[in-house]
Amino acid sequence: MNKILQEKIMEAFSSVLPITLIVLLASVILVPMPPGTILMFLAGAALLIIGMGFFTLGADMAMMPMGEGIGIQLTRVPSLALILGISFVMGLIITIAEPDLQVLALQVPSIQPSMALILTVGVGVGAFLMIAIIRTLFKIRLAILLLIFYLITFMVAYWAPGNFIPVAFDSGGVTTGPITVPFILALGVGVASIRSDRHSQDDSFGLVALCSIGPILAVLLLGIFYNPTGADVESHTVPVVANSREVVTLFAKEFPHYLEDVLNALAAIVVFFLVFQFIARRFKRHQIVRIVVGFIYTLIGLVVFLTGVNVGFIPVGHLLGLELASSAIKWILVPFSMVIGYFIVDAEPAVHVLTKQVEEISSGAITQKVLKRGLAVGMAFALAITMIRILLGISIMWILIPGYAFALILTFFVPKIFTGIAFDSGGVCSGPMTSTFLLPLAMGTCEGAGGNMMTDAFGIVAMVAMAPLIVIQGMGLIYGSKLKTSAKKTEQEILKIPTEKVEEIILFEEEAWYA
């Protein structure tokens, strides 16, 4: 186990190192920072690496097998109404447990108390998890459902308050974070595994995609009926630390807060698992022990990870955006954000879960390396467009509507499995690093450029979630085209074989068979 943990931590180190070096170079060349701030950032990066290592191991041991087991057992429930009821409760519980959502809710003062936004998003996820289960069981094409529900979403957005739309679309992205993604992905595999048809593999993806729509629609409806206020967004300030002792003290002070948050989050999932196990008797004793150990690793990983990124990354991200946007070289934010976007994908915990599962389900046809590269390119372009939008004050709808329209059109031309992977990837990319580093970077940029925080800064999560829809499906087009070319070439080669030779081959095979 120690060897596996060391491997996970080394993977996390290689993932976080590039973004750490980029910020350090920026602090020397573009935005000089006090030594205490740099030390605070480095401490945050170290905690992030350790936390990600523990979390990914915990997800492999607990969240993945638990989700897959529940998915398989769910299909054996005789009543469809009961299946849907259990699905709704699962969606609500794991959403309330999602740390990313809590981070976003605290940064949206126009909805108070913050639990109102959290519960709204939870209801949205629960409702659409039911729809996702129905789709898998009844073999409904994902592209049709995506088209219908995104059309409904944009129609509702027309009636929602303008300053509320970016927050609503951001909610869809942050919902699918480190707790939600492993569970829902495994749940999809479990539900699809009971089918023996050739499309079951394709339908194992798409649950995250549909569960990302629910929060957007629910929060838009909340905006229409709640009539949110125009409260100012709280600005992030960089704590003043003079030495290493003060850095350690700062992290130690915040550690209990995140421990309490994660304990409350995981407690709901543990209770649900215990009730499920008591009723279904699905897991054997050794499996339960492994899942419990996995929960402990997940707890340690998330607490350490969230402490590192919240204390060490949020202030630095805000400072970088603020200083660059208010300087004479503000347009350097565009290439700078592209570089950050390309490398930050590797630092998202849920991305590792998704890419690993995609490689396993596709039997190595879609490798982790290729998928991560596609996600990185998508993230880079998403952040470039976001920075241009913030600096020029462009409405997010001018980007989201054509972007989603193009992505939905592609769903009818790419292999089905790529549609599921693409729309799942959109939610997966917008994880803790987006809400705790990229969102503060956008807020700092907006503040420095003198923009509207609610309409300009918010929306970066939505942009991050949209880009992979196009990039991954573009990979699907290329993949499908190569398959067709290969099949055509094989057919032509067979046609070139003389008839006499074909008869000899058939005769030889028959003799070998009877022998």
Measured in whole angstroms, how far is the alpha carbon of residue 178 from the centre of its chain? 8
Residue type, 196: S
The alpha-carbon radius of gyration of the chain (Å, integer) is 24
Question: Which residues have C-beta within 8 Å of that of residue 486, sequence separation ≥ 6?
Answer: none
21-41 as b/e: b if 16+ CB within 10 A:
ebbeebbeeebebeebbbbbb
**Distances from the Cα of 237 to the Cα of 41, 322, 350, 390, angstroms:** 14, 11, 28, 20
* Residue 308 belongs to some domain of the structure: yes
Residues 429/462, Cβ–Cβ less than 8 Å: no
* Residue 233 belongs to some domain of the structure: no
The predicted structure's pLDDT at residue 492? 60
The parent domain of residue 40 ranges over 2-228+242-514
Of 428, 443, 429, 435, which is closest to residue 310 (Cα–Cα)? 435
* Residue 43 belongs to some domain of the structure: yes
The predicted structure's pLDDT at residue 356? 79
* Residue 463 belongs to some domain of the structure: yes
Reduced DSSP (H G I as helix, E B as strand, rest coil) percent helix, strand, coil of the chain, to 5? 85, 0, 15
**Distances from the Cα of 119 to the Cα of 96, 224, 475, 489, 497, angstroms:** 7, 16, 36, 55, 66
The predicted structure's pLDDT at residue 69? 83
* Residue 323 belongs to some domain of the structure: yes
* d(C-alpha 173, C-alpha 127), whole Å: 16
Tokens of 335: 């290439």
Question: Tens of pLDDT along the chain (515 residues)?
Answer: 678 888 888 878 887 888 889 999 998 899 988 888 889 999 999 998 898 889 888 888 887 788 888 888 887 888 888 888 888 988 888 887 776 676 677 666 666 666 777 888 889 999 999 998 888 888 888 889 999 999 999 999 988 887 778 888 888 777 766 677 777 877 777 777 666 555 556 566 778 888 889 989 998 988 888 765 544 555 566 777 878 888 889 899 989 988 887 888 788 888 888 888 888 888 888 899 999 999 999 899 889 988 888 888 888 888 999 999 999 999 999 999 999 988 888 777 678 777 877 787 777 777 888 888 888 888 899 999 999 999 999 988 999 999 999 999 999 888 888 888 888 887 777 766 777 788 889 989 998 998 888 788 888 888 888 888 888 888 888 877 777 776 666 656 655 656 555 455 444 444 444 44
The predicted structure's pLDDT at residue 513? 42
The predicted structure's pLDDT at residue 514? 41
Question: Which residues have C-beta within 8 Å of that of residue 443, sequence separation ≥ 6?
Answer: 107, 233, 235, 236, 318, 321, 453, 457
| Alpha helices by DSSP H, 194-326 | 200-203, 207-226, 244-280, 285-308, 314-325
Compute how many other C-beta atoms are within 10 angstroms of the C-beta atom of residue 324. 24
| Alpha helices by DSSP H, 142-243 | 142-159, 165-174, 180-193, 200-203, 207-226
* Sequence-distant contacts of 247-253: CB under 8 A, at least 24 apart: 247/36, 247/39, 247/40, 247/43, 248/43, 250/40, 250/311, 251/43, 251/44, 251/47, 251/307, 251/308, 251/311, 251/312
Question: Which residues have C-beta within 8 Å of that of residue 446, sequence separation ≥ 6?
Answer: 321, 325, 390, 452, 453, 456, 457
Instruction: Name the domain count of the chain.
Output: 1
* Residue 151 belongs to some domain of the structure: yes
The predicted structure's pLDDT at residue 508? 45
Q: What is the pTM of this model?
A: 0.77
* Residue 237 belongs to some domain of the structure: no
Tokens of 357: 């599962």
The predicted structure's pLDDT at residue 150? 93
The predicted structure's pLDDT at residue 279? 85
* Residue 248 belongs to some domain of the structure: yes
Of 257, 162, 173, 253, which is closest to residue 214 (Cα–Cα)? 173
The tally of CA atoms less than 13 A away on the side-chain side of residue 209 is 33
Measured in whole angstroms, how far is the alpha carbon of residue 41 from the centre of its chain? 24
Residue type, 164: F
Residue 167, SS3 per DSSP: helix
The predicted structure's pLDDT at residue 428? 75
